[in-house]
Amino acid sequence: MSLPQIVAIDGPVASGKSTVGKRLADRLGYLFFDTGLMYRALTYLALREQVPIADAAALAAFAERTEIDIRPPEPSERDGRDATVLAGGEDITASLRSGEVEASVSPVAAVPAVRAILTAAMRRVGLRGRVVMVGRDVGTAIVPEADAKIYLTASVETRAQRRYAEISARGEDRAYDEVLSNLAERDRIDSSRQTAPLRAAADAAQIDTSGLSLDEVVTLLERHVTGQLETGNRSSA
């Protein structure tokens, strides 16, 4: 019996998919790949190079000539990162969680040509295998052939509380109402975009993480992956 080579976990922002995906990847000994890192990387680089975020054609041209890759952290990288993000060989991992990037990443990700370019880059990482990939369209658009698919969700208020706690823990000064508003807007953009809108794959197990502890969610994910191994089924939960 072999482990699934690609585990796809989708869901809206702050639904818990990154936290539980990382734990699952650690237990499997796999690369943890948050696909949002690629969009954050492109957003950060576009802001740094002063590419207009509102100019879809300029963003697409910039994405076309920008090389982004995701690799497991090196033993020497002891800053708590889950993966290393490289742009043309430059390590930009530490620059991807700023408020400026947070506020601009959804408009960048909504550009169809940008999504097509970065989806191809994500597929290259995913098809290496031994990876847990999390995002918003992993199981539907990036690697629809994934061995195991899970869709996590939670109320926008629950997700805003989680994100606010993360931001506060990093010492950043942002109001809860601002975080809530940002998440609601990102949900609207992600769900209504023309290309690969946020939705659950038809064969994904759907799990609402509201009111569940981290351990309970990880256990549900492990149970789903085990069920895939035992039955070959992708029945929705």
pLDDT tens track for 18-33: 889 999 998 888 999 9
CB 39 within 8 A of CB 70: no
Reported confidence tier of residue 228, pLDDT bands at 50, 70, 90: low
What is the pLDDT at residue 232? 37
* Averaged pLDDT, 151-177: 89
Which domains are assigned to the chain?
6-229 (3.40.50.300)
What is the pLDDT at residue 233? 37
Reported confidence tier of residue 35, pLDDT bands at 50, 70, 90: very high
| Pairing label, strands 84-87, 68-71 | antiparallel
pTM of the model: 0.79
Phi, psi of 149 (to 5 degrees): -130, 135
Task: Identify the bridge partners of residue 207 per DSSP, sorted by sequence position.
Answer: 152
The rounded distance, in Å, linking the Cα atoms of 175 and 196 is 31
The rounded distance, in Å, linking the Cα atoms of 179 and 183 is 6
What percentage of residues in the chain have a pLDDT greater than 90? 51
The rounded distance, in Å, linking the Cα atoms of 133 and 35 is 7
* Averaged pLDDT, 206-219: 86
> Tokens for 118?
């970065």
The rounded distance, in Å, linking the Cα atoms of 216 and 164 is 22
Cβ-based burial of 59 (10 A; exposed 0-12, middle 13-18, buried ≥19): buried
What percentage of residues in the chain have a pLDDT greater than 70? 94
> Tokens for 98?
């700023």
Other C-beta atoms closer than 10 Å to the C-beta of 64 total 11
Q: Is the pLDDT of residue 37 over 90?
A: yes
**Amino acid sitting at position 96:** L
